[in-house]
Each structure stands twice: as C-alpha cells, then as structure tokens.
Chains A and B, each alone.
Chain A
Amino acid sequence: MFRLISSLFMGWALGANDSANVFGPAVASHTLKHSRAVVLCSLFLIAGALLEGGEGLRTLSSLTTQNLDTAFAASLCAALTVSLMSFLKLPVSTSQAMAGAIIGIGLHLNQLNLQGLNKIVICWIGTPLGTIIVSIILYKILGWFLEKLPINIFTQFTLVKYAIILAGCYGSYALGANNVANIAGVYAETGLITPFQALLIGSLSISFGVISYSKKIMITVGKDLVKLDPFSSLIALISSALVIHFYAKLGVPVSSSQAIIGAVLGMGILKGLQTIRFRVLLRVFIGWLGTPLIAGFLSYAGISMLSF
C-alpha cells in the first residue's frame, strides 16, 4: 500500500497547481474568499471524479498492462516529472506526465497499444486548439448576449463575477472528471485497489492539494487571467471547462493549464496578435512537448534499470 504514496503526491501537486486554473480569477479578483473557493473546488472536483472519472481510467488501462512495480514506476516518474517541470517554472500537465510515463513502460515492455496512444496524442493537440476555437465562439456569442441584456453596467459586472464563480465550480467538476485517472488509475489496473477506490483516493488527494497549498498559485495565475478583464476571464474559464469536460467524456486526461492557455490565446487572437506574448507561448510549447518526453524517458530508464 506504501506504493500509493507516489499517487498521493501526484494528486496533491495536481490540486495545488491546477485548481488555480479554475478558481484563480474568482480568488484573485476578491470575488470569492480563498477558504470558500477551496471548499467549492474540492466538492465539485470530488463530484466530477466520482461521477465521470471512470472513463479516463479505462483509457489509461488500455495503453499497456501494469503490474505493481510498473505502476509504482509510472506513478513515481510522473510525479518526478511534474516536480521537475514546476521547478523549472514550465507549464506542466500531470496528464501528459502520467501518460508519458505509462508509454515509457509500454515501450520497454514492448506492449504499447498504439491505437490508444493515437487517441491521447490527438486529444493533447486538440486541447489548446479546441479552447482557442471555443473561446472565440463563446466570446462572440456571450458578448453579444451580454450587451443586449437590459441591465446597467454595475449589474453586468456583478453578473459576470457570479458567473466566474459558477464557471469555477463547473471547471472543478470537469477537472475532477478528467484528471482523476492520472492519480491512482495505474493501481486500479494492477488490482491493488478497485476503480472506485482509485477515483476516491485520486479525488481526495487532489482536494488535499487544493486545500493545503493552492492559495499562492491561485492568486498568481488568477491575477494573470484577471488582467484580461472579467468577461474575458469568464470566457477563458468556461471554454477550458467545456473542453476538459468533453475530453473527460471521451476518457482522455488532458491538461487544464494548456486548456486555459489556449483560451487566453483565443482572447489574444480576438484582440489582436500584438497582445500575445510569444516568449510565454514558447515556454508553454516546451512544457507541452517536454513533459511526456521526460516522463517517458524516466520511466523507460527506471524500468530498464529495475529489470537489469
């Protein structure tokens, strides 16, 4: 059971980092106290994980066959990759880290399901692209609708603020549904725990990360998003939540950071390309490419050494 520690650490890191992508704007703009945000985030995250997280477990299981040792190696290598990328201040995806680690093991054992892998890679590309498209469409439609609403400017701003809280709840639900499989999914496959226990352990460890260590990141990430203006932040949150939820339905764990970055990029395209900081985009791209490669390399090397 001690092997689950690596999963708990992954869950904690995911909760601490990724909750900022869903509740950052609400906390950073003082719309919602951090204490209330973590309660809402945790509740919706657990609900999403338990109600719709099962599909992701099936996809990760389909990539390769795991035993207790390979599961532990995958989980540990993914956690190490997340820590390394965070240390390098590069945007990191736990989904990519976990999938990369599983792929590394699959390659070593020569039993990788390429069909499942294709699905995952297509979804990774589809995440930022999807949020760019969804955010542009939503911005146009909701912007038009909001302008036509017969309310004064103050009421409009308050409405947007409450909508940001609701979008945060939906985003948390989608995050739980999509990302929970990354946490203890590999152990469900080995039979060490049941799928339900994997979802429960995953969602609780993510929530622990949200409760214990999310404040600073929420404010930092939130302030970057709030710079957009409240309405654009709302669109970014809804778009990324919709896309993450869509991939949860498909059963492919994707990155909430890349989803939100795609949505912010969509706003940038709408407001003129000069608003986009290309150096930041380059870092995102390095993180996007580097995370699965590093995790894959670590797990391949790790399992090779163990076999030797």
Chain B
Amino acid sequence: MAFFWKKEQKIISKIEKYLELVIQAKSFFFTTIEELIKTPIEKRKIDSVEKLHQYESLADDIRREIEYDLYNKALLPEIRGEILSIMESMDKIPNRFQSICYQIFLQRIEIPEIIHSSLFHLINENLETVDFIIKATSGFYYKKDIFSLLQEVDKAESLCDHIERDLIHQVFQLDINRADMILLKEVIVQIGLISDKAETVADKLTITIIKRRP
C-alpha cells in the first residue's frame, strides 16, 4: 500500500521535519532571548543569535524543497497553492525569532529588570500560540479535528495583544530616556507579532478546511 503513496509520504515526512525544526527554533529562541534579556550588553555574545539564524535558514531550505516537490513533480495541483501559502505564513514565525534576537543584540537594547517578568509573560504567551499552531498544522495534514486548537490560537492571540498594550504602557512610565522607551516598545511589538503570524496561519488553515471538507 505504502508503495502507491511514496511521493505523498515523502512530502509529509518533509513537512513533519519542517514543523519539528520550528519547534526546535522556538525552544532555542526562548533560551537565546532569555540570555539576551538577563545578560548585560557588554557580556552578550552573538553565537546563539547566529545559531538561531541557522535554524531559520534550514527551515527555509526544507520549505523550498517542499515547494520544488509540489511543483516540479506535479503533485496535488488542487491544493498545493494552499499548502504553500500555509507554509509561507508559518515560515514567518522562525524569521521573527531571528529578527527579534538580532534587534536586541545589534541595537544593544537594555531591558530594565522591572519589566523582565512582564516581558517573559508576553514571550511565553506568544510562544504558546506557536505550540498550538504547530499542533494544529500537523493535525491538519492527518485530517484531525483541529478547530479547538485554532480557537486556542485566537484566544491566546487576544491575550497577547492585551499583555502587549499593558507592557508598552508600563515602558512609557519608566524613568529612562525617550529613545530607549521607543526601542523597548519596538521589541515588545515585534514579540507580539509572533502570535499575529500564528493567527494568520490559523486563518489559512480554517479557510482550507472549510473549502476542502467533503
């Protein structure tokens, strides 16, 4: 039986590999941003930020391979556009991990200790949307009922928006100069974009399911 579906199995294996890589990038992102937040500017090292870039680059390579297989091997013409659109939206999540860490490192942004706990709360909530969307995407390929997961993404994204607004409000009450406030606000907004990207993937999954459901 598996002989007949060899090409399809190959694609699904690559998608699983890709999702696994996003999970690894997510874990590594947390470690890296935690290190950047807690380490004084002078002692920060670029190594872990560079490693995060490797994850992002590897994810890009796998996505391109999938794209190549879907188009050059003329696989699934009816749904390949939708599959690739979902993957391209998903690909923006590891991109965001990388850009946030580069932003903090290259712009030498100091994170005041007073907002650490709120900032970690924002990061954790945003990363939770990534967990939900990876589970939902994987479930989608195996035809599982993923609507509850997609609803979780929506709820978590709303919560992230709320935390983001509170945190920006908190930042602009700090006793630091205006330029630092704006830099901090930018970091907060960029972190908040993680859940926005997860929500975009969720929206695309919802439409695809509704369109394709027998």
Cβ < 8 Å to A, chain B residues 198-214 = 211-214
Tell me the count of chain A residues lying within 8 A, CB to CB, of chain B.
19
A156 to B11, CA, bound (A): 13
Q: Which residues of B contact A142 (CB under 8 A)?
A: 214
Distance (Å) between the CB of A279 and the closest chain B CB? 24
- How many contacting A-B pairs (Cβ < 8 A)? 49
**Smallest Cβ-Cβ distance to B78: which chain A residue:** A230
One of B4, B12, B141, B214 near A139 (C-beta < 8 A): B214
In the complex the two chains form, is A158's CB within 8 Å of B143's CB?
no
In the complex the two chains form, is A153's CB within 8 Å of B143's CB?
yes
Q: Which residues of A contact B211 (CB under 8 A)?
A: 229
In the complex the two chains form, is A157's CB within 8 Å of B76's CB?
yes
A154 to B11, CA, bound (A): 8
One of A143, A151, A152 near B214 (C-beta < 8 A): A143
Contact with A along B116-136 (1 / 0, CB 8 A): 000000000000000000000
A30 to B4, CA, bound (A): 18
**Smallest Cβ-Cβ distance to A159: which chain B residue:** B5
Q: Which residues of B contact A156 (CB under 8 A)?
A: 143
Distance (Å) between the CB of A284 and the closest chain B CB? 26
Contact with B along A215-229 (1 / 0, CB 8 A): 000000000001001
Distance (Å) between the CB of B214 and the closest chain A CB? 3
Distance (Å) between the CB of A241 and the closest chain B CB? 19
In the complex the two chains form, is A147's CB within 8 Å of B143's CB?
yes
With known contacts A29-B78, A30-B77, A226-B78, A154–B214 Cβ distance under 8 A = no
Interface SS of chain B: loop
Is B114's beta carbon under 8 Å from chain A? no
Is B159's beta carbon under 8 Å from chain A? no
Query: By CB atoms of chain A within 10 A, which of B142, B143, B213 has the most?
Result: B143
**Smallest Cβ-Cβ distance to A226: which chain B residue:** B78
Q: Which residues of A contact B76 (CB under 8 A)?
A: 154, 157-158
**Smallest Cβ-Cβ distance to A234: which chain B residue:** B214
Distance (Å) between the CB of A66 and the closest chain B CB? 48
**Smallest Cβ-Cβ distance to B143: which chain A residue:** A153
Is A231's beta carbon under 8 Å from chain B? yes
In the complex the two chains form, is B78's CB within 8 Å of A157's CB?
yes
With known contacts A29-B77, A30-B77, A153–B140 Cβ distance under 8 A = yes
Is A146's beta carbon under 8 Å from chain B? yes
A12 to B156, CA, bound (A): 63
In the complex the two chains form, is A152's CB within 8 Å of B212's CB?
no
Q: Which residues of A contact B12 (CB under 8 A)?
A: 152, 154
Is A274's beta carbon under 8 Å from chain B? no
Contact with B along A3-35 (1 / 0, CB 8 A): 000000000000000000000000001100000
One of A143, A152, A155, A157 near B79 (C-beta < 8 A): A157
Distance (Å) between the CB of B162 and the closest chain A CB? 34
Cβ < 8 Å to A, chain B residues 171-210 = none
Q: Which residues of A contact B106 (CB under 8 A)?
A: none
Distance (Å) between the CB of B88 and the closest chain A CB? 18
Q: Which residues of B contact A155 (CB under 8 A)?
A: 5, 8-9
Q: Which residues of A contact B78 (CB under 8 A)?
A: 29, 157, 226, 229-230
A154 to B142, CA, bound (A): 9
Distance (Å) between the CB of B114 and the closest chain A CB? 48
In the complex the two chains form, is A231's CB within 8 Å of B214's CB?
yes
Contact with A along B5-33 (1 / 0, CB 8 A): 10111011000000000000000000000
Residues of B that sit less than 8 Å from A by CB: 4-5, 7-9, 11-12, 74-79, 140-143, 211-214
A-B contact pairs, 9 of them (CB 8 A): A29-B78, A30-B77, A147-B213, A147-B214, A153-B142, A154-B5, A158-B5, A158-B7, A231-B214
Residues of A that sit less than 8 Å from B by CB: 29-30, 139, 142-143, 146-147, 151-158, 226, 229-231
